[in-house]
Amino acid sequence: MVKTRESDLIGTSIEDSRAAGLRMLDGRSILVTGGTGSFGRRFVETVMRHAKPRRVIVFSRDEFKQYEMQQRMPADWAPTLRYFIGDVRDRERLELAMRGVDFCVHAAALKHVPAAEYNPMECINTNVYGAENVMRAALSTGVRRVIALSTDKAANPINLYGASKLAADKIFIAANNLSGALDTRFSVVRYGNVVGSRGSVVPLFRKLIDQGADHLPVTDERMTRFWITLQHGVDFVLSCFAMMQGGEIFVPKIPSMRIGDLARAMAPDLPLKLVGIRPGEKLHEVMITEDDSRQTYELSDRYVIEPAFAFWQHAPYEGLDARPVADGFRYASDGNDDWLDGDRLRALLAEAS
């Protein structure tokens, strides 16, 4: 495998990488699976505003969400945007959608932890077999770069959702063994909870507050989570397109917060009611395990977990001050050195509104 970076595009500072990723998309075709989800919509909007793509393909299975998305997008974007109804469970449909595609972001997944526990095969069919379908379709159609979205729950998973995403991560990393002479490369982006995303606790708390609730339900006041804004997640993925060599797991440095502190920041006058941890939930989340530390490098704004496969020829990120982490390093939400206080949280919530 040729280990080259888009050296003519990426600058020597980490701040250049998002802009470099956007420049890479000029004149190219991009496909986003799960394109009508929170991430997909923001990704498409960001690319259309700041790059000059040839085509942007929204691939999802909900025609009504596609219709709603079309209505929200500016009319002058219509010639560039394409809406493909399809499911990642259907490899043939993916192959049709990926013809002529240069870049793919795989964001489609079943993400609700209790729903995955109750419907295990549906979770596996979408998150595991769907990942394999995306990988095979990308190889067969010659997509240049694929980035798959992962989750902190994929590290040391205790629930099926996390386990299915760990399996998907392994599929995409190992896919670089199958590229051969093809230019197709696969990498993974792993990050924590998105502030304000559909299904997260923030919209739930907002709904209860707006309805005049007399308390907020909290699973466990000690529970901690990593937090990232939707735009930060999109920008991070774009920056990884410019940096990826194929096989890495990119992990952003993001703040942690206790769930109890979140509830108090959103409704300081409401009491909290402990309701207990749901099936499959962790008290704290981990994004880099001790075992991963042996292949992990630290940059100014992220960590990079390199693959252990023989195809990987380590080439440090020149000019970006990459350095190996200490053996036994662990990046967990309860051991983070960056914590959100009330003011920073309120600023994040305002940004996510």
Work out the pLDDT band at 63, boundaries 50, 70, 90: very high
End-to-end C-alpha distance for the chain, whole angstroms: 43
Does any domain span residue 322?
yes
For residues 31 and 50, give the distance between their C-alpha atoms in angstroms, rounded to a whole number. 17
- Which of the given ranges, 114-118, 135-139, 252-256, has the highest pLDDT on average? 135-139
High-pLDDT (> 90) share of the chain, %: 70
Where residue 174 sits, what CATH number does that domain have? 3.40.50.720
For residues 68 and 36, give the distance between their C-alpha atoms in angstroms, rounded to a whole number. 9
For residues 337 and 323, give the distance between their C-alpha atoms in angstroms, rounded to a whole number. 18
Q: Where are the beta strands (DSSP E) in 165-210?
A: 185-189, 193-194
Please confirm, yes or no, whether 207 is among the known catalytic residues. Answer: no
Which residue, chain included where needed, has tokens 């991430």? 39
- Contacts (Cβ under 8 Å, ≥6 apart) of 283: 220, 222, 223, 224, 277, 334
Which one has a higher pLDDT value, 140 or 13?
Answer: 140
Q: Which two tokens stand for residue 54?
A: 């040839």
Does any domain span residue 6?
no
DSSP codes, 50-81: H---SEEEEEES-HHHHHHHHHHS-GGGTTTE
pLDDT at 52 over 70: yes
Does any domain span residue 214?
no
- Contacts (Cβ under 8 Å, ≥6 apart) of 165: 109, 127, 150, 151, 153, 154, 157
Work out the pLDDT band at 1, boundaries 50, 70, 90: very low
Does any domain span residue 109?
yes
The predicted structure's pLDDT at residue 59: 98
Which one has a higher pLDDT value, 180 or 331?
Answer: 331
The predicted structure's pLDDT at residue 16: 78
For the chain, the C-alpha Rg in angstroms (whole number) is 20
Instruction: Report in angstroms the alpha-carbon separations of 339 from 93, 114, 171, 227, 262.
Output: 44, 27, 33, 10, 12
Based on the structure, what is the number of domains in the chain?
A: 1
Closest among 109, 101, 120, 121 to 35, alpha carbons compared = 109
pLDDT at 10 over 70: no
Does any domain span residue 8?
no
pTM: 0.91
The mean of the pLDDT values for the chain is 90
Amino acid identity at 26: D
- Of the CA atoms within 13 Å of residue 194, those in its CB half-sphere come to 22
Does any domain span residue 201?
no
Which one has a higher pLDDT value, 216 or 345?
Answer: 216
Q: Across residues 24-29, what is the average pLDDT?
A: 97
pLDDT tens-digit map of 157-176:
999 999 999 999 999 999 99
Length of the chain: 353
- Contacts (Cβ under 8 Å, ≥6 apart) of 279: 113, 114, 117, 159
Q: Which two tokens stand for residue 191?
A: 């990050």
Q: Which residue(s) pair with 145 in the sheet? A: 103, 185
Which one has a higher pLDDT value, 318 or 164?
Answer: 164
The predicted structure's pLDDT at residue 4: 40
pLDDT tens-digit map of 236-249:
999 999 999 999 99
Work out the pLDDT band at 13, boundaries 50, 70, 90: low
For residues 86 and 90, give the distance between their C-alpha atoms in angstroms, rounded to a whole number. 7
The predicted structure's pLDDT at residue 353: 64
pLDDT at 14 over 60: no
Selected catalytic residue, list 111, 153, 165, 282:
153
Work out the pLDDT band at 9, boundaries 50, 70, 90: very low
Q: Which two tokens stand for residue 307?
A: 């693959």
pLDDT at 199 over 70: no
The predicted structure's pLDDT at residue 238: 96
H-helix or E-strand spanning residue 346? helix 342-352
Cβ atoms 139, 145 nearer than 8 A: no
For residues 303 and 336, give the distance between their C-alpha atoms in angstroms, rounded to a whole number. 13
Work out the pLDDT band at 319, boundaries 50, 70, 90: low
Does any domain span residue 280?
no
Does any domain span residue 343?
no
The predicted structure's pLDDT at residue 123: 97
Which one has a higher pLDDT value, 307 or 4?
Answer: 307
Work out the pLDDT band at 96, boundaries 50, 70, 90: very high
Q: Which residues of 104-120 are buried (b: 16+ CB within 10 A; e: fewer)?
A: bbbbbbbbebeebbeee
Helices (H) and strands (E) in the chain, counts: 12, 17
Domain extent at residue 296 = 16-192+228-253+288-331
